[in-house]
Structures are given as structure tokens and as C-alpha cells.
Amino acid sequence: MVVTGTVDGLHYELHGGPVAGREVVLMSSGLGGSGSFWGPQMAALTARWPVVLYDHRGTGRSVRDLPSGRPYAVADMAEDMVRVMDALGIAKAHVVGHAAGGNAGLALALAHPDRLGKLVVANGWSRPDPHIKRCFDTRLHLLNDTGPAAYVHAQALFLYPATWISEHSERLAAEEPHHVAGFPPKAVMLARIGALLAFDIDEQLPRITHPVLVSATADDMLAPVTCAHRLAQRLPNAKLDVLPWGGHASSVTDPEGFNASLVRFLEGAT
């Protein structure tokens, strides 16, 4: 059973039946913003919980612009989670976020602690370190100087291990035209990257007392594993799980390992 809807321009989907009286898992994707990113997790999760997917504002099937008049922020992404939860009548949800989505989950924990159950931050950070800044600078140059096609073509280098890219080159080549066709407006992508580069809640981490799974990958090319170690050290109730291989998008490259860790954490005692 899948229920789809739109709230304030945000496209969302509810998988797995009614939410009343049940724990709910809300999935928030990374910079690309599309809820379809979580396809490899859906069978494992919907067998246990209702699951909410949504496309971030400015991406996918959601409205293709952002609020004007001020810089866009990760806190805005957190407010959009609340809008989706309100539309579905969900008082509190477990949030699983990848990179930008995980950072938004941390922002949600600070701004609306009562709306969050457990939190999974996959390959996220509390502040961008020099390597993350260098990666985003490179992506910004590609987008500004060459355009979306070059940006999309290079994207695999930041997301996946080299061996995985070699073994899935045909798949990546087939997906590229679709990613280019659905690429957000340039101004939206620049604002979303700007929000991630400005995100810094490092000093506020001790305030987040929710159970948090900090999921990371040792060979992440975009977010160094040291960012995950810092989160786990500074969050009062965090568990660190580092996969040895899988790159930045380990939920795609190693879904079995990622899903097993995810389910264990969500099913465990609070």
C-alpha cells in the first residue's frame, strides 16, 4: 500500500499502511534530494514499519524552487520534515538520513526534539571539514564552469568506490541522462550546497540526547570517517558503526550490510 501526496510543494509517499499507533520511519536523502535513493532499503524496512519517503524541496517531484529573501539552510530541510509529518498525522518518527538528510535530522533534533524518536546519520557531519569543502568546491566549479552534465558525470567519483564504478559502468552510463534531465535548477543546487557548507552545529551536539546511529564507511570519498568519529564522540547517546567498504553511498553499494545495521538499531531498545 502506497499513499502519495503533496504538502507545501513537497512530494511524499507513505509505504506500508496506516501510521496510527505504529512506529514510523522517515527517510531523508542526501544532496540529490530524491526519495527514490532509498530503493535498496525499502523491502527490509516496510516489512517492519510504515516508511515515509519524500523529495527535498527544489528536487525530484517537489516544487523546484527554494524560499527567497535569505540564505537557504539545513534548518529549512528539517522544517520540511515536520511539514511532511504533519501532513500524515505523525507526531514522532524515527529519521534515517543520508549526508544532507542526516544533517537535517540533527537539525530536527535541536529544533523539534519531541518530533524525533531515533536518528540514523549515514555519512553525515556536524561541521564540514577541509576535505568536504574541497570536494564541494570541485563540484561547484564543475556546475558553474561546465554545467549539469559534467557535474552528474563526475558524481560517481564522490559517491562510489572505484571498484564498484568499474563493475557498474554500464548502469551508471544508462542512468546519467535521467539524472541530467531531472537535475534541479542551478540556483537550487548552489543554495543546497551553500547550506551544507554553512552547516555547523558542532558545539550543540551535547544537547542531542536521542539515540543516534552514526553510520559511516571507511572509504567514503566525500565525508571522511573522522567526521563520524567526531559525531559519535560528542553525541551523548550515539552508537558508531563503520562499514569497511562502500563509499559515500554505502546504502546503494552494500545494501545488505547497511540494512542489517539499520534494522538492528531501529529494532533495539531505546
pLDDT in tens, 237-265: 999 999 999 999 999 999 999 999 999 99
Helix and strand totals (H; E) in the chain: 11, 8
- The range of the structural domain enclosing residue 247 comes to 2-267
| CATH code for position 115 | 3.40.50.1820
pLDDT digits (tens, 9 = 90+) for 200-227: 999 999 999 999 999 999 999 999 999 9
Residue with cell 522544517: 79
Q: How many CB atoms lie within 10 A of CB 32?
A: 25
Give the distance from CA 110 to its chain's centroid: 17
Does the pLDDT at position 270 exceed 80?
Answer: no
d(CA 50, CA 17): 6
pLDDT of residue 269: 62
Residue 14, strand partner residues: 3, 52
Contact between residue 207 and residue 218 where contact means Cβ atoms under 8 Å apart: no
Does the pLDDT at position 154 exceed 60?
Answer: yes
d(CA 17, CA 194): 37
d(CA 119, CA 102): 8
Q: Which three cell numbers stand for residue 62?
A: 517537489
d(CA 119, CA 27): 10
In the sheet that holds 25-28, the strands lie side by side as 2-7, 10-15, 51-54, 25-28, 93-98, 116-122, 212-217, 238-243
Residue 120, strand partner residues: 96, 213
pLDDT digits (tens, 9 = 90+) for 70-104: 999 999 999 999 999 999 999 999 999 999 999 99
Per-residue pLDDT band for 179 (boundaries 50, 70, 90) equals: very high
H/E segment holding residue 174: helix 169-181
Mean pLDDT score of the chain? 97
pLDDT of residue 32: 97
Alpha-carbon distance values, 29 to 57, 68, 166 (Å): 11, 23, 24
Decide: helix, strand or coil at residue 101: helix
Length of the chain: 270
Contact between residue 208 and residue 117 where contact means Cβ atoms under 8 Å apart: no
Q: How many CB atoms lie within 10 A of CB 100?
A: 24
Per-residue pLDDT band for 1 (boundaries 50, 70, 90) equals: confident
Structural domains in the chain (count):
1
- % helix, strand, coil for the chain, step of 5: 50, 15, 35
Q: How far apart are the first and last CA of the chain?
A: 28
d(CA 64, CA 34): 12
Share of the chain above pLDDT 90, in %: 98
